[in-house]
Each structure stands twice: as C-alpha cells, then as structure tokens.
C-alpha cells in the first residue's frame, strides 16, 4: 500500500487551506502500458501516470478550485485497455484491489491530517469514479459520521446503477440541483454511437448536468453555463452555450446533439467507440458543474450552520 505520509504521493495537498470546504479528487485512467511486458498496474511513482493525472485535473476538478481546497492523491491504477476489457467480475476485483486500497488509505490520511472537520465532496472520473463507488460503499459505510459531512459525490464517467444503490441503502442518487449527501453521475454520448461504451453497466442512472433533473426534457445548449475546451492551438478557454443535454433513461446516459462527433469522439484503435464522449464528461459541462457545486455547498452550509 502506498505511504500517504510521504508528501511526494500527493498531487495536490494545500499547506494552508483557505476555503470552508474540500474536494477529494480521484483522477481518471492516466496509465498505459509502455509495451506488452509492462505491468498492468502502475507504480505510484510512474512518471507518465503522474503527468496524465495533472492534465486530467486541469480539465476536470480545477472547476472546483475557486470554491474548495483540492486534495488529490497519486494512486496505483490499472492500465486503461486491461481494465476495460476484463470480464465484469474480474474488473470489479481488480479495481477493488490496489486502486481502491490506495485511495481508501489516502482518504483516511486526508481525514486525519488535512481535513480539519470541514465538509467535503468527492470528485472522480472514469477509473477514478469506479474507485469512488468502492470508497463510498466501503469506507463510508464503516464511517457514517464522515458520510454526514459529504456535500456531494461527483461519480462521473462510470456507471452508478440502481442495483448498486439497492446494495448500499445509505447512498442516495441526486434528484435536484441542491440536494446534499448525494451521488451525481452521468456518462455523455451522442444520439448514435459506434458500439456500446465499456464504462456503461445495465441499469445505469444519469442526471442532466444542465437542469439537474432526471427526466427526458432536453436542456438546450443556450441553457448551459459553458464548456471548457481547447482551441486548435491547444489553449483551453470557456466556450459558452456549447453542449445541450437530455437524459436517456433507457441507455442510462446523457445524450448531447450539438458537439462534433468527428472532433471529440471519432472512434478508432485504442479509443472509446465513436460518439462516446467519455473524455468530455467534465469539459462539456465544466461551468455547469462549477456552478452546481457552489449551490450544493450553500445548501449544505444552510442546513449545517
């Protein structure tokens, strides 16, 4: 297990936190095997993974930086292709192994040494969201006092299913913009996709990241607070009114029709199927997530003066 008393094993751990709430960020898959003989599990010091984690933060959890102190551990994670091609039972066991062991140890260290009793949120994506489901079902079940301080868990880019909630009755899925202690989850896809997404599970639930409702009403792009996207030269900036959103409950996803499939999800070898906007789950709705977090923090503070 990774030693989280070692500061080098934290990507982010502010020395002088100045916000009233924290975000514990679990980055998505940032490790790819260099060759067939390489380990399917990244060493926590793997340079490529660490670089990828920092890039992921800038396009995802940086949305919360103006409101929260961000804490993010480096953790041993599975190679992308290996993780997504395992049979379901083997996938669960693999993610519940070293990745979840590390993140659970990091979260316990964070609570004991960094948190100081502040309310907090969990934010994860892809493999990080998968790990978050294990953290919520395991550590939180054993520490209900800690769970009471959770503002929200953004478990995005992996499936949260009704079966999962049924097995963990203390956990609740969000139903609106300002409920707290809840899970927010969605996966973003085009109306037509080239093949099923490997992060989708039967019975997945989704909430609209513009309206924060679970009905099928289409939220037009004009209602969005904006996306966070790179231009042709790689410079990231806010793009207003970019992505629309509607929940497709049959598929368990958020459908968006306005972004270019050719630009953001063309498919191809070693990529998600065409039309699966996995890497854009946060960027398409970056400023909606940013605003929503502020709403949920305010609601939590009002209920817990």
**103-123 pLDDT per residue, tens:** 999 999 999 999 999 999 999
Q: For a pLDDT cut of 70, what percent of the chain falls above it?
A: 100
**Helix, strand, coil fractions of the chain, as percent rounded to 5:** 35, 15, 45
Contact criterion met (CB below 8 Å) for 131 and 106: no
Split into its structural domains, the chain has a count of 1
Burial class (CB in 10 A: 0-12, 13-18, 19+), 259: buried
pLDDT of residue 199: 94
- 44 lies in a domain? yes
Q: d(Cα 1, Cα 43) in Å, to the nearest integer? A: 11
- 148 lies in a domain? yes
pLDDT of residue 276: 98
Q: Which H/E stretch holds residue 122?
A: strand 120-125
Judged against a pLDDT cut of 80, whether residue 88 lies above it is answered with: no
pLDDT of residue 270: 82
Q: Please name which of 293, 280, 259 lies closest in space to residue 182, comparing C-alpha atoms.
A: 293
SS3 (DSSP) at 208:
coil
- 67 lies in a domain? yes
- 13 lies in a domain? yes
Range of the domain at 36: 7-303
pLDDT of residue 87: 79
pLDDT of residue 304: 92
Which spans in 175-303 are helix H?
261-264, 286-303
pLDDT of residue 300: 98
- 2 lies in a domain? no
Question: pLDDT-based confidence at 81, cuts 50/70/90?
Answer: confident
pLDDT of residue 25: 98
Q: For 18-67, what is each residue's pLDDT tens digit?
A: 999 999 999 999 998 888 888 999 999 999 999 999 999 999 999 999 99
Judged against a pLDDT cut of 80, whether residue 238 lies above it is answered with: yes
Q: How many residues does the chain have?
A: 305
Q: What is the mean pLDDT of the chain?
A: 95
Lowest mean pLDDT among 25-29, 50-54, 91-95, 282-286: 91-95
The DSSP call for residue 230 is E
**DSSP secondary structure, the chain, as one string:** ---TTSGGGEEE--SS--SSSEEEEE-------SSTTS-SB--TT-HHHHHHHHHHHHHTGGGGTTTSEEEEE----B-HHHHHHS-HHHHHHHHHTHHHHHHHHHHHHHIIIIITT--EEEEEETHHHHHHHHHHHHHHHH-HHHHTTEEEEEEESS--BHHHHHH-TT--B--SSS--SEEE---EE-SS-SS--TT--TTB----TTT---SSPPBPGGGS--EEEE-TTS-EEEETT---BEEETTTTEEE--SS-HHHH----TTSPPTTB-GGGTTGGGHHHHHHHHHHHHHHHHHH--
Please tell me the pTM assigned to this model. Answer: 0.96
For the sheet with 188-189, list strands across it.
188-189, 253-255, 246-248
Q: What is the mean pLDDT of residues 5-29?
A: 97
pLDDT of residue 158: 96
Question: pLDDT-based confidence at 160, cuts 50/70/90?
Answer: very high
Question: pLDDT-based confidence at 69, cuts 50/70/90?
Answer: very high
- 1 lies in a domain? no
pLDDT of residue 32: 86
End-to-end alpha carbon distance in the chain: 38
Q: Please name which of 231, 207, 217 lies closest in space to residue 285, comparing C-alpha atoms.
A: 207
Name the residue with tokens 């070692």.
6
Burial class (CB in 10 A: 0-12, 13-18, 19+), 197: buried
- 120 lies in a domain? yes
Instruction: State residue 154 phi and psi, 5-degree precision.
Output: -90, 95
Judged against a pLDDT cut of 90, whether residue 91 lies above it is answered with: no
Which of 35-39, 74-78, 229-233 reaches the highest mean pLDDT? 74-78
pLDDT of residue 179: 97
pLDDT of residue 82: 86
């Amino acid at each position: 297990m990774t030693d989280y008393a070692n500061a080098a094993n934290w990507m982010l751990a502010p020395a002088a936190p100045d916000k009233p709430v924290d975000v514990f960020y679990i980055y998505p898959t940032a490790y790819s095997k260099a060759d067939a003989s390489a380990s399917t599990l990244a060493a926590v010091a793997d340079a490529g993974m660490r670089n990828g984690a920092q890039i992921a933060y800038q396009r995802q959890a940086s949305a919360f930086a103006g409101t929260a102190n961000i804490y993010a551990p480096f953790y041993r994670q599975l190679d992308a292709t290996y993780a997504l091609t395992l049979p379901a039972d083997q996938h669960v066991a693999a993610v519940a192994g070293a990745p979840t062991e590390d993140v659970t140890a990091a979260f316990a260290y964070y609570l004991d040494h960094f948190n100081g009793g502040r309310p907090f949120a969990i934010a994860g994506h892809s493999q990080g969201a998968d790990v978050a489901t294990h953290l919520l079902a395991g550590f939180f079940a054993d520490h209900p006092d800690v769970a009471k301080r959770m503002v929200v868990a953004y478990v995005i880019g992996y499936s949260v299913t009704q079966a999962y909630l049924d097995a963990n009755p203390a956990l609740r899925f969000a139903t609106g913009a300002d409920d707290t202690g809840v899970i927010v989850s969605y996966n973003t896809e085009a109306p037509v996709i080239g093949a099923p997404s490997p992060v989708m599970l039967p019975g997945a639930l989704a909430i609209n990241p513009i309206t924060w409702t679970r009905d099928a009403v289409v939220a037009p792009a004009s209602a969005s607070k904006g996306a966070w996207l790179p231009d042709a030269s790689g410079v990231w900036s806010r793009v207003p009114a970019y992505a629309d959103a509607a929940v497709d409950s049959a598929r368990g996803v958020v459908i968006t029709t306005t972004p270019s499939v050719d630009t953001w999800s063309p498919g191809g070898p070693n990529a998600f199927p065409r039309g699966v906007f996995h890497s854009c789950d946060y960027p398409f709705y970056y400023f909606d997530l940013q605003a929503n977090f502020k709403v949920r923090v305010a609601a939590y503070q009002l209920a817990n003066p």
